[in-house]
Structure 1
Amino acid sequence: MSVRNGLLAVLSLGPAYGAQLHAELGDRLGHRRTVNIGQVYATLDRLGVQGLVRAAGVTDDGLPLYRITDDGLRQVESDLSTAPEGSPDWSEMLDSVLMATSLPGSDPRRLVASYRERWHAASAPSSTAPTAQSALSSRAEAALSAAAIDWLDGVEAELDGRGGLDGELTRGYSTTRPRRGRPSA
């Protein structure tokens, strides 16, 4: 999931300001490397030009708020309903599924099923004559596919209430205001 699509998904919760969106991406996609706050604001500007977000006023202390448009919501629904075409990507899957499971009102079951289908297809044996190197590569792909399918099974168990995690998967915006300025060393 690109930063662009992640921001749109978080904005589906309602208006937010840049640092808030930055913190939400970090909280919801904790496995991902930290996104630069400048990238968040630059992406919000591009999303505005594309008509996917618009200005929504300011906070009490003057921070600009952004709101998703109807076109932006359609983009989120598309992004979080099925896995992208082609070979599945581990990080992309984590981003998409973790984001979808964190959003109230979202039903990520179709997305989970779509990724499961892609990973099963990726683990199918190749019809070409294997070399030692290609056999080693195939083993790695099979191991990654098995891990992805196992993780998706766990996600589905949580969605069905039989996974054993405490608490709700979905949540709105955090009530903790993100710190502003440079992180301390």
Structure 2
Amino acid sequence: MSVRQSLLAILDQGPCYGYQLRAEFARRTGATWPLNVGQIYNTLDRLERDGLVEKGDVDEQGHVYWHITDAGSLEVREWLRAPVERAPRDELAIKLTVAATLPGVDAADVIRTQRSASQAQLDELRGAAYTGPAGPEEVAWSLVTDARVFAAEAELRWLEHAQERLARQGADAVVLELSTDRPKRGRPSQRGAA
């Protein structure tokens, strides 16, 4: 998730100071991803460096209000229009594929351990109850929680699929010994080229 674009989108609604941005981010994401104020100010500094926000007025309490620039508003519109690309590096998939290809590792045990943890997370998510005010904050919390529930359910389905696939292959069928091929370092030799 992009903290950068989320903060820009909030600033596109009007000037805010750092703690205010933190509170708005929490309100709009159901408080499911807490940000520390240092992260907010580091992000604001980078956004300023990139010409997407500017420092504005300082109020009587010393709060510096940040304003979005035209370039920042354009980036928000582009972010909201663009689809989200899921990261190809899924830590669980990588862990399981490496475990399945190592001699002496019981990939089924790795799957059982993960399935137990994933099921516990799913149970916790399903049992979670919103405790804040009714209204938009509740909808935001529900959307984020629902997304996490669906992701946990999908993970459990994938683990079941992986276990079945590995069982069909046979435990030793996917084991890889270290390759005897030695990767070359550096650039190819330029000898003979001219």
TM bin, normalised by shorter chain, reads 0.3 to 0.5
